[in-house]
Structure 1
Amino acid sequence: MNKKLVNDAENFAKTANVSRETLEKFMVYQELLSKWQKKINLIGPSTIYNLWERHFLDSAQLMQYIPQKLHSGQIYDVGTGAGFPGLVLSIMGVKNVNLIDSDTRKCTFLREVVRQTEVNANVINAHLPKDAQQNIYPEASVIFARALAPLPKLLDIVFPVISPTTCCILLKGEKFNEEILNARVSWKFELQTLDSQTSESGKIIILNEVCRNESEVE
């Protein structure tokens, strides 16, 4: 690992407050990602050089927002891609994480990282919402998504696994306000908006009590 990556890793460990043992698992993750990136497009090529902040820390910042009472339930990272944020949170100790992606190759990569880091995560090669409508997946306690789809479409995708107590923790870009307004046309939800630790224009939005507007149900 070159000097920049070492410094980035150490800075990540301090900011995210992870142990040396956990940092070593992240180093395994980083090495596998760099290796597999040459075969398949896991992340934007330009972001590989800022991996520790752009992807690892961006994901790790969500740890503090998981409601304690929901830690024991099923956690879904929908459209996880290279494992962000779900696999990062799993390495940090979050249990019952389901990493869902429709890309078979990405799922193969994720299974290899899970195997080598020995974390408590389940990789699911599926396409939501179609597969979830078969009622084979339990309702989610927490749903994560990062750069999967605009909020109205995202809620359509995850709604089959949402319960009245599900908490959705989502990473959004600079158009978050527009997405929220568009989503409120068809959806009701309690909303909390928080600043991102890694992006001046990005936001973390937390949704609770998600349900369709009555006009949409009829």
Structure 2
Amino acid sequence: MRDVSRETSARLNVFAELLVKWNARINLVSPRDIEHLWPRHIEDSLQLAPMIPQGSRVIDLGSGGGFPGIIVGIASDAEMVLVESDRRKAAFLREAARECGVKAQVLAQRIETLDLDPAPFVTARALAPLRVLLGWTAPLLSPNGVALFLKGKNLAGELTDAEADWHMSHTILNSRTDGQGAIIKVSDIRRVE
């Protein structure tokens, strides 16, 4: 795990215990992933924290089991807006934010229905193809904002597909936790005319 303070580590442990408890009732992560919770989910999400200045406002799309939203909120003290349409998962996110001391607004609604002020950061993990993510992200990202997406081995193909509909500036960073994964930083998103 990357270097985090003792306080952050303690809050991450609270989160992990809570997720395991809730996962017995609702499917937040695959039951077979529980034994790999730290490297596969928590440490993967932690990679985004150094890219988000302390206290920034972040909209996390498809927050699900709290990845990366709750983890980023714990590690960067960000002001999180967590978007999750599944009401049971949204209830978990509210409880996790409260227990872990994360400043979070949880919206139990579909991404397409959001009416939010744009934020300097938008995040998502394992949610949708890049082409779809860009459509959801464009109206939610501040003019000089950055979207940070944790993606898998199909990123190159997703990028090719997305470029048919979207202009963007982007940087691809290798994942430190998944040899086939990557983080794509996207800015200047605009639809192809």
Shorter-chain TM-score range: over 0.9
Structure 1: give runs of 5+ residues left out of the alignment: 1-11
CA RMSD of aligned residues (A): 1.3
Task: Give the drift of 1:74.
Answer: 2.6
Structure 1 counterpart of 2:68, from 82, 85, 96: 85
Cα displacement string for residues 108-153 of structure 1 (whole angstroms, at most 9, x for unaligned residues): 0111111112222221112112x22xx3x11021010000000011
Cα separation, 1, equivalents of 2:141 and 2:34: 33
Alignment correspondent of 2:110: 127
Equivalent pair of 2:69/2:123 in contact (CA under 8 Å): yes
Q: Which residue does the alignment assign to 2:79?
A: 96
For residues 71 and 55 of structure 2, the distance between their equivalents in structure 1, rounded to whole angstroms, comes to 17
Q: 1:118 to 1:53 in 2, by over 3 A?
A: same
Q: Which residue of 2 aligns with 1:44?
A: 30
Match of 1:161 in 2: 140
2:6 aligned with 1:23, yes or no? Answer: no
* Residue pairs, 1:103-182, within 5 angstroms: 103-129=86-112, 131-132=113-114, 135=115, 137-182=116-161
Q: Tell which deviates more after alignment, 105-114 or 71-80.
A: 71-80
Length-normalised TM-score, structure 2: 0.95
> Are 2:190 and 1:211 aligned?
yes
5+ residue gaps in structure 2?
A: none
Q: 1:35 to 1:176 in 2, by over 3 A?
A: same
- Cα 1:47–1:164, aligned 2, differ >3 Å: closer, same or farther? same
Q: Structure 2 CA distance, aligned partners of 1:33 and 1:123?
A: 16
Query: Who wins on radius of gyration, i.e. which is larger?
Result: 1
- The alignment partner of 1:82 has SS state of coil
Distance 1:212 1:72 in 2: 30
Shift of 1:157: 2.1
Aligned length: 193
What TM-score comes out, normalization by structure 1 length?
Answer: 0.84
The corresponding residue for 1:8 is none
Aligned sequence identity (%): 38
2:119 and 2:148 map into 1 onto residues whose CA distance is 12
